[in-house]
Amino acid sequence: MSDQRVSINFCGGCNPWINRQEIAQEVKRLLSQDGCVVVFNSYEADLVIYLSGCSSNCAQKFSSEVIPCVVVAAASIDAAAVEEQKIAAEIVARVRRFCKRMEVSMGSGHGSNRADNFSRR
Amino acid sequence: MKTAAQYEESLRRLNLKVYLQGERVENPVDHPIIRPSMNSVKTTYALAEDPLYQDLMTATSHLTGKKINRFCHLHQSTDDLVKKIKMQRLLGQKTAACFQRCVGMDAINAVDSVTFEMDQKLGTKYHERFTQFLLKMQEEDWTVDGAMTDPKGDRGLSPSQQTDPDLYVHVTERTDDGIVVRGAKAHQTGALNSHWILVMPTSTMRQEDADYALSFVAPADGKGIFYIYGRQSSDTRKLEGGDIDVGNKQFGGHEALMVFDDVFIPWENVFMCGEYEFSGVLVERFAGYHRQSYGGCKVGVGDVLIGAAAVAADYNGAAKASHIKDKLVEMTHLNETLYACGIACSAEGHKTASGTYLINMLLANVTKQNVTRFPYEIARLAEDIAGGLMVTMPSEKDLRHPEIGKVVEKYFRGVASVPTEDRMRILRLIENLTLGTAAVGYRTESMHGAGSPQAQRIMIARQSNPERKKELAKAIAGIGTN
Ligand SMILES: Cc1cc2nc3c(=O)[nH]c(=O)nc-3n(C[C@H](O)[C@H](O)[C@H](O)COP(=O)(O)OP(=O)(O)OC[C@H]3O[C@@H](n4cnc5c(N)ncnc54)[C@H](O)[C@@H]3O)c2cc1C
């Protein structure tokens, strides 16, 4: 379905309220099935999933990269509360929406990787 | 932004209905008991005009891009949260009193993110209305009273169970144009120095208490609103005309009971009306911001008290004693611990859905829990260093008396090179901060303001993540791994 490159960027993990490892594994498994290339801790990607264990959001906080992203900080995605068990599925749904937009914009000849609904920083 | 003079002028134009010691006060701005508290708020305007302090005192509005007073700002980053703490420390140092304007700042930040989330979930229009109010607040540089605490009557009963329904602010009527509210808010800091009042519910409301799940703004001199001024220990010294016995002649703080006697609030000023399921998060966020605040303001006042204790030691001739030096070190350690907590909960803050930054709740509650203790210990050590004279000294009138003044001069002198008057001044400042009018802010407000100690312990318990800590211990102890 997609050959997008997605990076999961972790915080340092000093005070996790969610199981970052389990979430990352599940996201990688599902996105790989879609044909995405999933890497870790990189900005060489079409989209970054910032995965922080607590609300401090250290995975993203110290980054000045301007890149489409999904921000997970404790049990929240893009500042809205999400139960821990639903986080992986919700991330994947958001990445799929992003990939779909990319395909549409490539198909329509715009060729831009700007997806309006995704936060960037 | 308003200048300090314009702020004072704007208060004179308000038509506040105020009672103090059984009498109606026609001119609160110039009343000798109230005036020092006005001077404290005025300092929040004066320092914003001063290039030396503008980095902390002002911010750029995310709504208009204009320069505004930081007290009217919604925090747009963790840097903003950190600067808030530094600004509060600065103002504590400059006034040695409660400068009152934080409550409104904390209220707007809480109401912003909560109304945004309410609108997202319920399709209401509260955030839009709130933003319109905020625009005016920023443009006019208003001081806003953050009104949360109800009188609460029987603490064992919910609002709707009280014998008198007015013990919590509630809606009595809903019309096409707005609502009518009744009740009162107690302990209102800076009420008479404010242009507007931002009301919030006092606790988490349940369905049966939906009429009490209320947030709105009202002009401070709105029809049906009146105030009964709170007494402070030694307050009438301000009527004596001298400047030594008051301890801090220029600055102070105040609290008042604010009564809503069937006040009409148009819908455009209503930000919550019956959505009880959002009352808890509003209380938590406001309390969180306000608990953070104390990691700044009390530290600034603490700086003055530590300084005063050190000066008293100099004047007493005891400054070189090792235990005095050690006590000053301990006071500093306690004070800086409070500051460290204030900075930490700010630096660890995060963005909410509205874009406004929220402090780290666990650390903000830890900050305030320490504030319920450390100022008391700092005050104890200051009293130790000061000596008993801080409470047994004769009055300024005795010092000025043509005959007994000489006796006061002679017997209350410490080291020979320091005038007795200076020694009396510094001891009166310590008295003011530990037992006098400023102790309201430095001690009891440290205990109960932004919630009594148990309220923080509940929040700390909720966020302490004990299961994770158990897992860590089990992993180290080798439990469940083989
Ligand atoms: C100087 C000062 C300034 C303030 N400024 C403001 C302000 O500007 N705006 C504002 O809205 N509020 C303000 N407050 C109010 C402050 O938030 C309250 O004082 C605080 O929430 C405690 O409420 P209370 O004073 O009614 O004490 P109480 O609620 O009566 O508490 C007294 C004791 O009883 C315990 N207790 C109370 N209820 C229960 C219960 N149901 N179960 C078990 N234990 C209970 C408490 O833990 C505490 O130990 C200020 C307070 C002070 C002292």
Q: Which of A 41-70 lie inside 8 A of B, CB atoms?
A: 55-57, 61
Ligand 1 centroid – CA B451 distance (Å): 5
Q: Check if the beta carbon of residue B319 is closer than 8 Å to that of residue B310.
A: yes
pLDDT at A114 over 70: no
Q: Check if the beta carbon of residue B16 is closer than 8 Å to that of residue B221.
A: yes
Which of B348, B353, B468 has the CB atom closest to A56's CB atom?
B348
Tracing tokens 């329904």 back to the chain, one arrives at B165
- Interface probe with A: pick from B79, B350, B356, B465, most Cβ of A within 10 Å: B350
Cα distance between residue B125 and residue B118, in whole Å: 9
In B98-203, which ranges are continuous DSSP H helix?
Answer: 102-122, 126-140
Ligand 1 atom with least separation from CA of B145: 8
DSSP string over chain A: ----EEEEEE---SS-SS-HHHHHHHHHHHHHHTT-EEEES-S-SSEEEEEESSTT-HHHHT-----EEEEEESSEETTEE--HHHHHHHHHHHHHHHHHHHHHHHHTT------TTSEE-
Ligand 1 centroid – CA B142 distance (Å): 26
* C-alpha distance from A78 to closest chain B C-alpha (Å): 7
What strands lie across the sheet with B18-20, from one edge to the other?
B23-25, B18-20, B225-229, B255-266, B178-189, B170-174
Cα distance between residue A18 and residue B72, in whole Å: 35
Say yes or no: CB of residue B231 within 6 Å of ligand 1. Answer: no
pTM of this structure: 0.94
DSSP string over B236-273: GGGGS--SSTTS-SS----EEEEEEEEEEEEGGGEEEE
Q: Give A2's pLDDT tier (boundaries 50, 70, 90).
A: low
Cα distance between residue B425 and residue B263, in whole Å: 46
Tracing tokens 């931002």 back to the chain, one arrives at B198
Which residue's CA is the nearest one to ligand 1's atom 30? B155
Q: Give A3's pLDDT tier (boundaries 50, 70, 90).
A: confident
User: Do A55 and B353 make contact, defined as CB atoms within 8 angstroms?
Assistant: no
Q: Check if the beta carbon of residue B378 is closer than 8 Å to that of residue B335.
A: yes
Note if B341 is an active site residue.
no
pLDDT in tens, A16-35: 999 999 999 999 999 999 99
Domains of chain B: 4-278 (2.40.110.10), 282-472 (1.20.140.10)
Note if B273 is an active site residue.
no
Beta B225-229 vs B255-266: how paired, if at all?
A: antiparallel
Please give the average pLDDT of every successive group of 10 residues along chain B, which has 482 residues: 98 98 97 98 98 96 98 98 98 98 98 98 97 98 98 98 98 98 98 98 97 98 98 97 97 98 98 98 98 98 98 98 98 98 97 97 98 98 98 98 98 98 98 98 98 98 93 95 66
pLDDT of amino acid A111: 40
Which of A56, A57, A80 has the CB atom closest to B353's CB atom?
A80
* Bridge partners for B268 per DSSP: none
User: Do A57 and B352 make contact, defined as CB atoms within 8 angstroms?
Assistant: no
Cα distance between residue A49 and residue A57, in whole Å: 12
pLDDT of amino acid A121: 53
Cα distance between residue B116 and residue B354, in whole Å: 6
More confident residue, B99 or A108: B99
User: Do A56 and B350 make contact, defined as CB atoms within 8 angstroms?
Assistant: yes
Say yes or no: CB of residue B155 within 6 Å of ligand 1. Answer: yes
pLDDT of amino acid B132: 98
B183: left (phi over 0), alpha (psi -120 to 50) or beta: left
Ligand 1 centroid – CA B35 distance (Å): 26
Q: Which residues, 6+ apart, have CB-to-CB distance to B154 below 8 Å? A: B161, B162, B163
Cα angle: A63, vertex A69, A71; to 5 degrees = 80
Q: Which of B452, B458, B459 to mutate to test the pocket of ligand 1 (most atoms within 8 A of CB)?
A: B452
Say yes or no: CB of residue B440 within 6 Å of ligand 1. Answer: yes
The residue annotated as part of the active site, out of B189, B202, B372, B420, is B189
Say yes or no: CB of residue B253 within 6 Å of ligand 1. Answer: no
SS3 B395: coil
Residues of B in contact with A17 (CB under 8 A): 465, 468
B321-350 burial code (b ≥16 CB/10 A, e <16): eeebeebbeebeebbeebbebbbbbbbbbb
Say yes or no: CB of residue B387 within 6 Å of ligand 1. Answer: no
Which of A15, A57, A80 has the CB atom closest to B350's CB atom?
A57
Note if B102 is an active site residue.
yes
| ipTM greater than 0.95 | no
